[in-house]
Amino acid sequence: MNDLYSVLIADPIHADGRALLAADARFRVDVEGGLDEAALTARIPDYDALIVRSKTRVTRPVIAAATRLRAIGRAGIGVDNIDVAAATERGIVVFNTPDANATTTAELTLAHLLSLSRHLPQADRSVRQGEWQPARFSGVELAGKTIGIIGFGTIGRLVARRCAGLKMRVLAYDPFVAPEIMEQSAAEPAELDALLASSDYITLHCPLTDKTRNVINASRLAMMKPGVRIINCARGGLIDEAALVDALKSGHVAGAALDVYATEPPAGSPLLALDNVVLTPHLGASTEEAQRAVSLRVAQDVVRFLATGAAETAVNLPRVTSEQLARTIPYQQLAHALGRLVGSLYEGPITELVVRLFGRVAELDSRPITAEALVGLLSRRMTGRVNRVNAGHLAKLQGIEVRESRTENARDFVSLVEICAISGDKNTTVAGTLLGERHARLVRIDDYDVEAVPEGHFLFTRHHDQPGVVGALGEILGRENINISRMHVGVGDSSKTAIALISTSAPLSASALTEIRALPPIKQAVEFEL
């Protein structure tokens, strides 16, 4: 681990976020904004972490040049300015701050909701021009109206509860959120088409992905009630702006309030010429409280990840709380060792890796444990960076399918972690446990019971069960001036094949390993380090 971490802040963040990093003696912080792709590509090799907002684009070429980079922090929600896939491939964790500015964005949505209903921006301009035409700006009440919320994450839920407080009927659509969660926030679950057809107001709170791009297009606009009003404080690109302009001009859509655009700023957009549109310059997180909150959170996340590996808000890792992560760390370390072991023992291609958790460990979140088993396995077989960020991606490239299973029955152990590598009808299984929830022990290789601390250098053999094998191994190790720290010999049920697991003081030379493999009783001889 580095004694000093270097962090580049490429977009403005609140002074308190910068101060948090600067106050930590383990971090060196540089602030340099306005970097285009070429400039950022030239600068990035010197840094362990990069912090951005929405302006700086972290592209695949930038990530390819980031030889030291371990973390990218986005002070905000959307990460569409970051090539997350490229970061994942390189094992770089990407953070965002999904909840830090949620209240601010929800309140902006409510402000637009009221502005649309009562024509407040238009009325303000009229009075400033010396006019007095209250009848011209007659609006509508919110109470009793139906609002449809597309995307029901933290912001969507906050909007739902506030709209319910205004006596509105709330519909919600999100294919990834359970109906019970929606009902807890006073929303009725609805399919997208039904929501569009029933809502007087529609507000978007979903991320911009390939599936959600132009989710509001001409055909879906046509499904909406005449006189519908649309609000977008989420991401530009969710709405087909050309289709929206046509619907606004025809009157089918009575009004729209937009804080985000497909191109920002929306210079030359026909939206600018329409009077039934309220436009704001991406103000979603623009409050003092939100600016401070997102800056502090991203700084805290970068510090925590580089110092401890905790990644609660990572978008390319399973989200696990710090408390849960702390409980899994000893099992992650055990799984890593078991993954390295099975990767050493199984010398051919692997098509399937099965991670089985028994007993108390089965109560924990299995994802970090499985990820570390993959890291251990792949680190034996690949060059370059392998970590829990990119292990799943690399496994797919290797053609390895990963499966998990859990059961409370731990057989003879309080907890047991078992890793099985499979290809066709061949497989190798290793298992380990923790003594006192802390001390790792290897307890099984295939059908052989063993007991070993999974640390240091090892020699493993499968051999015919006959006298003289252990003596021959000892003689070769002695000539190499290698001490045997501990040895475990196991005999199979058939009594024809045995194994030897020997903990050694140093690695063997290539010639010594070749000599061992040439011994007539030896079927397999593998050296490895855990």
End-to-end C-alpha distance for the chain, whole angstroms: 18
Per the CB < 8 A criterion, the answer to whether 382 and 394 are in contact is yes
Q: Is 264 a catalytic residue?
A: yes
Helix (H) or strand (E) holding 197: helix 192-198
Helices (H) and strands (E) in the chain, counts: 17, 22
10 Å CB burial of residue 228 (0-12, 13-18, 19+) is: buried
Residue with tokens 């960076």: 385
Half-sphere exposure (Cβ direction) of 5: Cα atoms closer than 13 Å:
25
CA 10 to CA 53: how far, in whole Å? 8
Helix, strand or coil, per DSSP, at residue 1: coil
Q: Is 282 a catalytic residue?
A: yes
118, 282, 360, 441: the catalytic one is 282
162, 235, 336, 367: the catalytic one is 235
User: What letter represents residue 457's amino acid?
Assistant: H
264, 289, 475, 529: the catalytic one is 264
Strands, sheet with 27-31, edge to edge from the N-terminal-most edge strand: 27-31, 5-9, 49-52, 71-74, 93-95
Residue with tokens 């009562």: 118
CA 395 to CA 407: how far, in whole Å? 25
CA 271 to CA 262: how far, in whole Å? 12
Q: What six digits make up the tokens of 377?
A: 């396995």
User: How far is the CA of 386 from the CAs of 312, 383, 390, in angstroms?
Assistant: 20, 8, 6
User: What are the beta bridge partners of residue 140?
Assistant: none
User: What letter represents residue 370's amino acid?
Assistant: T
What are the DSSP calls for 440-474, one per residue? EEEEEETTEEEEE-S-SEEEEEEEES-TTHHHHHH
Q: What six digits make up the tokens of 516?
A: 């061992």
Phi, psi of 414 (to 5 degrees): -65, -40
SS (H, E, C) 137-153: HCCCCCCCCEEEEECCC
Entry field: residues in the chain = 530
Task: Please count the other Cβ atoms lying within 10 Å of the Cβ belonging to residue 282.
Answer: 15
Q: Is 393 a catalytic residue?
A: no
CA 73 to CA 7: how far, in whole Å? 10
Positions marked catalytic: 235, 264, 282
